[in-house]
Amino acid sequence: MITRKSTWLCAVGFSLAVWPAHAGFDGSSCSFDGNELKGQVEIVDSFPDVKVQIVDSFPDLKVQLVSSFADDCGEWEVVSSSGDFKVQYVDSFPDIKVQMVDSFPGVP
């Protein structure tokens, strides 16, 4: 017998099954929502590609700031415009957590 409750549960289950999953951080490709986390980065106050929180431990990604040739995962060259991706620094609710390092950037 179909009840109102079982119909509602089926509708919720179907909605969750077809709702697109949030891609998020992918450590294997060093990317967030399709944006590779290497190269030239533009620091912005609004409309970022990635919201980043700087932490001292347990990062998702270790980042090294470089002046040129930011070709590897976690190597970022800060530019004032036309970066490969945009980052906003936040104190809470980040998309990813990063630790700034002087060497060995990448996924820990």
Show pLDDT as tens, one digit a residue, over the chain (108 residues).
555 555 444 444 444 444 444 469 999 999 999 999 999 999 999 999 999 999 999 999 999 999 999 999 999 999 999 999 999 999 999 999 999 999 999 999
Residue 15 inside a domain? The answer is yes
> Is residue 107 a part of any domain in this protein?
no
In a domain, residue 108? The reply is no
Residue 81 placed within a domain: yes
pTM value? 0.78
Residue 23, token pair as written in the block: 């891609």
Q: Does any domain span residue 64? A: yes
Domain assignment of residue 87, yes or no: yes
Q: Domains in the chain: how many in total?
A: 1
| Pairwise CA distance, residues 106 & 104, whole Å | 7
Asked if residue 105 is part of any domain, the answer here is: no
Query: Which domain, by its residues, includes 30?
Result: 4-100
Residue 106 lies in a domain: no
